Amino acid sequence: MKRSNEVFLWSLFSAGGVVAALFIPAFIFVTGIVSALGWQPAQQAFSHDGVQQLLGPGIVRVVVGVVVALPLIHAAHRIRHLIIDLHAPVPDLVLAPACYGAALAGTALAIVFLVQL
């Protein structure tokens, strides 16, 4: 029987879904609602100096990188299987690298921004 890497990808898919479900609503609440209503600590935290201070420790940058990377992998896996389920005439040899490559590119871009900040 041929070994598959699907188990690894499904575990990343699951982890990305959990991270997205936990952190994205909180992020939307803080950045979109609380900050827009004029709460001063939130506005100070999202200024340039505030973001640099929040992302100062290296472990925080690693956590933010993981919080960005896992939902990107989740989205790539979901899009890949959506296209497969729709029976689109795209070979998997093209589809899988395109989906996961886009997730990898987004993760790399996030890492570059985190390192430069």
Integer CA distances (angstroms), 116 to 53, 55, 93, 109, 113, in order: 14, 11, 34, 11, 5
* Integer Cα distance of 9 and 86 in angstroms: 20
The pLDDT > 90 percentage for the chain reads: 42
For residues 74-88, average pLDDT? 92
pLDDT in tens, 43-70: 777 788 888 888 888 898 898 899 999 9
Residue 40 pLDDT > 90, yes or no?
no
Average pLDDT, the chain: 87
For residues 83-105, average pLDDT? 92
Report domain extents, the chain. 6-116
* Integer Cα distance of 13 and 21 in angstroms: 12
Pairwise pLDDT comparison (46 vs 84), residue with the higher score:
84
Residue 1 pLDDT > 80, yes or no?
no
**In CATH, which of 3.40.50.720, 1.20.1300.10, 3.40.50.300, 3.40.50.1370 is domain 6-116?**
1.20.1300.10
| DSSP conformation class of 35 | T
* Integer Cα distance of 36 and 46 in angstroms: 11
Identify residue 43 by its one-letter amino acid code.
Q
pTM over 0.75: yes
Question: Which backbone phi and psi does 102 adopt, to 5 degrees?
Answer: -65, -40
